[in-house]
Amino acid sequence: MVDEALSAGAVARRLGVAVTTLRTWHQRYGLGPSEHIPGHHRRYTPSDLARLEIMRRLTAEGVSPAEAARWARQAPDPMPNGTGVVAPTRIHPAGRDGGGSIPVGRAGPAARGLARAAMRLDAAAISETIAHALAASGVVATWEGLLRPVLAGIGERHAATAGLIEVEHLVSRCVSEALAAASRAKVPTGPARILLSCADEEQHTLPLEALAAALAEAGVSYRMLGARVPVAALVEAVNRTGPAAVVLWSHTRATADPTQLSALLAAPRRPLLVLAAGPGWRADTLPAGVVRPVDLAEAVSLSAAVRDSLDQSRRD
């Protein structure tokens, strides 16, 4: 094993990280070198390297270092037979059989049940759990206490294993259907003063669908443009419908081009309120006058408030 073991410098070069980063990962998260020859510096074995590769990949994807380290430590030994060959499938924890579970943090039993149903690809149980929660607790509580933890858990597992895409798709579909049914059950009257849209090329629509259902529940009419709206089409919709507020969702940095927000602010029928919603947006790049809600509840209350103020000003 000594021949294959690497120095910290060699590992740092291979992974493209600083030696100090390796030291931090060792000291804080226990991901250190395990080869120890008396009288020599400790060295990294191929198994250590495989774990560090998981750590590097996950942290680069935005997973917190503590969480990434948890996955890295759980990874099965990639070289149990000492061949020195790192089989790619073995460096993903539970990546071979799609087994394991979806982490839901401190979320309650309903979220754990939903996560289990999701792993079984049991669409009927998934839909029933969501419908039951929506009826019993309403949209905001269902989103925060049930859907968000499970969706985030699926994302976490996917980042760690590159698996669970089938689970992600099935759950997304069930969530969409349940939120659409909730929206249809309470169609608000009055003109639609809130425009909901995803940023250009943005395919993550579920948070906007949750907002639509929550607005319906609160009696606020909206128009939903859905996924991947090019900026010219968004501005066209604004100019034709004159909404009081536009909520533009971006889930990832790749779709968070602030010029989309500037275009809304420059539109001839500029909305009273432009909301940049979602984790894609960076606060320091937002044009002045754009508001960033912190969560679903705030997006609902801001939308309802701006609708009320427009209705009031039209009455005066």
* Contacts to ligand B12 by CB under 6 A: 61-62, 143-144, 148, 151-152, 154-155, 158-159, 168-169, 172, 176, 201-207, 210-211, 251-252, 277-279, 293-296, 299
Q: Which is nearer to ligand B12, 5 or 114 (CB)?
A: 114
Minimum distance from residue 142 beta carbon to ligand B12 (Å): 11
The residue of the chain with the least Cβ separation from ligand B12 equals 155
Minimum Å gap between C-beta 112 and ligand B12 is 16
Nearer to ligand B12, 47 or 205 (CB): 205
CB of 187 to ligand B12, least distance (A): 19
Q: How far is the CB of 299 from ligand B12 (least distance, A)?
A: 4
Residue 95 vs 278, nearer CB to ligand B12: 278
Nearest approach in angstroms of CB 140 to ligand B12 is: 9
Least Cβ distance, residue 252 to ligand B12 (angstroms)? 4
Is 236 within 8 Å of 197 (Cβ atoms)?
no
Q: How far is the CB of 83 from ligand B12 (least distance, A)?
A: 30
Ramachandran angles phi, psi of 13, nearest 5°? -65, -45
Between 6 and 194, whose beta carbon lies closer to ligand B12?
194
Closest CB to ligand B12 among 1 and 123?
123
Judged by beta carbon, residue 6 or residue 275, the one nearer ligand B12 is: 275
Residue nearer to ligand B12 on the CB measure, 35 or 202:
202
Q: Which residue has the tokens 């250190």?
A: 32
